[in-house]
Amino acid sequence: MHLSCWIDSAPGETLSARARFLADCGFAAVEWYASLPELSSRLPELRALVRVGIGISAIGPIHRGWLIDPDSASRQAASEDIAQALAWASELDTAVIVLPILGYTRALPNGRTTGRTAEADRQMLIDSLGPLAERARELGTRLVIEVINRYESLTMNTLAEGVRVMAAVNSAHCKLAADLFHMNIEESDPAAALGRAGSFLGLVHLSDSNRSFPGLGHTDFPGLLGVLGRLGYGGYVTVEASDDRRDVRQILPKTVQLLKELIGG
C-alpha cells in the first residue's frame, strides 16, 4: 500500500507548495480534483511534481454532466470530458476518479432522481463505462468509480453494488474507489465488505467516521487496513479528510505516522 493525501487538505498558497508539504510529511502521492480548464492549465505543474518523485494517485475532473444524467447531451459531455482526463492521466501515470452522479437520491423526501428505475440507472452506468474502460486500456491508464452513500447518489451505494457493476464492465482498467466515510454509513460490516470487494478495488479513501482525519473518530482503521493487507492490496490509500477545528500542520504528520504503523510502512 502507498500513502496519498487529498491535496486540498494541505496548507500552502500554490498547488506545488501543498504537494511538497505533503511529501515532507511522508505521503508518497497526492490526489487532486479540479475543473477541466484548471487541470489543463496545471499540467506542467503536475508533470514537474512527478519528475521530482511526488506521485499523483488520482485526478478527479469536475466535468460536465454525469454518466447517468437524465439528459442525453449531458451524458455525452460527461463521457467526452472523462475521456480527455484519461489522456492527461496517461501522461501522469495516474488514475481518473469519477462519480456516477451526485446530488440525486431516492433516500430523501423530494429527492431528485433520473426518472429511471434503479436497475435502469445501473445498466446505463455499465453501458457508459464500457467505452471509457476501453479508452483507459488503450492509453495504459485506469478509471476508478467511487462508491458513495445513498443520500448523495442513487446508484452504486455499497461495495457489493459496485462489484456487480465492475463485474459487468469486466475490465482490468476500471476499478472501484472505496471510501471509508461512505462505508461507515452504508456497510453493516465494513471489513467484510472490503474483503469481498477484493480484486475490484483500485483506490481507497481514508477518513474517520466524522470525516476528520484517521484516528479522530471511531472507524476501525487497524481492522480495515488489516483486511487490505491480507488481500494483498498494493494500490493507494488516500487521506480524504477535512476538519476546520484541527491544525493540519500538526495533524498530517501524525496521520502519516499512524497509518505507517498500521500498514507496516
Residue 63 is part of a domain; what is its CATH number? 3.20.20.150
Q: How many domains does the chain have?
A: 1
215 or 158, higher pLDDT: 158
Q: pLDDT band for 264, please (50, 70, 90 cuts).
A: confident
- pLDDT > 70: percent of the chain: 100
What is the pLDDT confidence band of residue 223, given thresholds at 50, 70 and 90? very high
Residue 72: pLDDT over 70: yes
CA distance 231 to 225: 10
What pLDDT was estimated at residue 179? 96
pTM: 0.95
Task: Report the alpha-carbon distance of residue 253 to residue 76 in Å, rounded.
Answer: 42
Cell triple for residue 205? Answer: 479513501
The separation between CA 228 and the C-alpha centre of its own chain, rounded to angstroms, equals 16
- In sign, the C-alpha dihedral spanning 208, 209, 215, 221 is negative
Mind listing the pLDDT tens digit for each residue in 82-140?
999 999 999 999 999 999 999 999 999 989 999 999 999 999 999 999 999 999 999 99
Domain enclosing residue 186, as ranges: 2-263
Cα end-to-end distance, the chain, whole Å: 8
> Residue 173's Cα: distance from chain center in Å?
15
pLDDT of 117 reads 93
Distance (Å, rounded) from C-alpha 259 to C-alpha 265? 8
CA distance 211 to 9: 12
* Grid coordinates belonging to 132: 471509457
Q: How far apart are CA 3 and CA 262, in angstroms?
A: 12
**The C-alpha cell of 229 is what?**
493487507
pLDDT tens profile 14-34: 999 999 999 999 999 999 999
Which residue, 121, 187, 104, 178, is CA-closest to 145? 178
Predicted local distance difference test score (pLDDT) of residue 265: 61
pLDDT of amino acid 242: 84
- State yes or no: pLDDT of 197 exceeds 90: yes
- Tens of pLDDT along 147-159? 999 999 999 999 9
- Read off the pLDDT of each residue in 217-243 and give the average, rounded to a whole number: 94
Place of cell 515532507: 24
DSSP secondary structure of 32-71: EEEEHHHHHHHHHHHHHHHHTT-EEEEEEEE-SS-TT-SS
Residues 44, 92: contact at Cβ < 8 Å? no
Q: Cα–Cα distance between 43 and 69 in angstroms, integer?
A: 28
